[in-house]
């Protein structure tokens, strides 16, 4: 179980969160840390939320762990927690499958105390950091096509493309979602048809839609498959890509990736 509590400050303000599946936070932080070095988690009555850009300003990560995913959720006032994600990941990964993971916020020492309790009790102190109070706004994007498919199908397709190229072309033709990559001597073509597993919704029928994206970034994003069995793929012609990994009433991990433009 995962327990998040705020030490009572004498004013009767206490926050306590109990998460039955620590995997939801542990795996999310592991995935996000591959793209973002530092981040601020905003905790309020709705849940935990984080929006951040990668250092190169090529990708955005949107994370929400809803209050309904917690076995117990008690927040008296909003709290912001800014941390180094690599350090947080290292600690969370030490949690065993049967451990209770408790996380305490000590505002006096400005540290996050993470305790793993199982056969032994292990306590870690993680300093909170100061980040520029710059609110990241999720852009409003208009997509020409949406593909809902198995997370494993997308993962396998990107891994296939990675064998031959550094970038991948997404396209829609005749209700077939195609993923193509080219190298100096070889190429990979993966066609995903609209069927019982994959649903392709084209919002501009008859329009050719294709865009190229970095495989390096996509390989990090498709790790969302560890959390959700399905993925929503949204894109348009030479337009940003959005991947949504969602579990109803529990979790959302989304990525927005800028298209790759090359002068051939």
Q: What is the pLDDT of residue 173?
A: 87
Which CATH number covers residue 242?
3.10.150.10
Give backbone dihedrals phi and psi of 82, rounded to 5 degrees, phi first: -105, 130
pLDDT by 10s per residue, the chain, length 264: 666 655 544 443 346 777 778 888 889 999 999 999 999 999 899 999 999 999 999 999 999 999 998 877 877 888 888 999 999 999 999 987 777 777 777 777 888 777 777 889 888 899 999 887 677 889 999 999 999 999 999 999 999 999 999 999 999 988 899 999 998 889 999 999 999 999 999 887 767 789 999 999 999 999 999 999 999 999 999 999 999 999 999 999 999 999 987 654
15 and 120 assigned to the same domain: yes
User: For residues 43 and 57, is the Cβ–Cβ distance under 8 A?
Assistant: no
Question: In the numeric block, which tokens belong to residue 11?
Answer: 């004013």
CATH (domain of 14):
3.70.10.10
**The predicted structure's pLDDT at residue 101:** 74
- Closest by alpha carbon to 165, among 150, 176, 179, 154? 179
**Residue 92 bridge partners (DSSP):** none
Q: Tell which residue, 155, 148, 146, has the closest CA to residue 219.
A: 155
Question: Are 158 and 241 in the same domain?
Answer: yes
Q: Taking the CB of residue 64, how many other CB atoms lie within 10 A of it? A: 19
Question: Could you tell me if 101 and 180 lie in one domain?
Answer: no
From the list 3, 195, 28, the residue with the least C-alpha distance to 99 is 3
Does 66 fall in a domain? yes
pTM of the model: 0.91
Task: Give the structural domain span for 36.
Answer: 2-127
Give the DSSP H or E segment for 73.
Answer: strand 72-74
Q: What is the helix (H) or strand (E) element at residue 2, kind and residue range? A: strand 2-6
How many CB atoms are located within 10 Å of the residue 199 CB?
14
Do 45 and 154 have their domain in common? no
Contact between 20 and 41 under an 8 Å Cβ cutoff? The reply is: no
């Amino acid at each position: 179980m995962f327990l998040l509590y705020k030490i009572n400050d004498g004013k009767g303000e206490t926050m306590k969160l109990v998460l039955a599946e620590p995997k939801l936070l542990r795996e999310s932080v592991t995935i996000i840390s591959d793209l973002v070095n530092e981040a601020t988690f905003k905790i309020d009555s709705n849940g935990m939320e984080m929006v951040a850009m990668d250092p190169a300003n090529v990708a955005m990560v949107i994370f929400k762990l809803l209050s309904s995913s917690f076995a117990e959720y008690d927040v008296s006032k909003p709290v912001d927690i800014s941390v180094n994600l690599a350090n947080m990941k290292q600690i969370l990964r030490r949690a065993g499958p049967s451990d209770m993971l408790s996380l305490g916020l000590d505002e006096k020492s400005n540290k996050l105390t993470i305790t793993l309790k199982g056969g032994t009790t292990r306590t870690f102190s993680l300093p909170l950091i100061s980040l520029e109070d710059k609110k990241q706004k999720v852009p409003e994007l208009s997509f020409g096509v949406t593909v809902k498919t198995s997370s494993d199908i997308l993962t396998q397709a990107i891994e296939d493309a990675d064998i031959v190229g550094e970038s991948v072309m997404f396209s829609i033709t005749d209700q077939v979602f195609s993923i193509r990559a080219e190298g100096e001597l070889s190429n990979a073509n993966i066609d995903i048809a609209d069927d019982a597993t994959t649903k392709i919704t084209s919002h501009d029928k008859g329009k050719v839609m294709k865009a190229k994206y970095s495989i390096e970034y996509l390989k990090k994003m498709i790790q969302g498959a560890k959390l959700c069995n399905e993925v929503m793929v949204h894109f348009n012609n030479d337009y940003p890509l959005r991947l949504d990994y969602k579990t109803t009433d529990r979790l959302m991990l989304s990525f927005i990736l800028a298209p790759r433009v090359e002068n051939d």
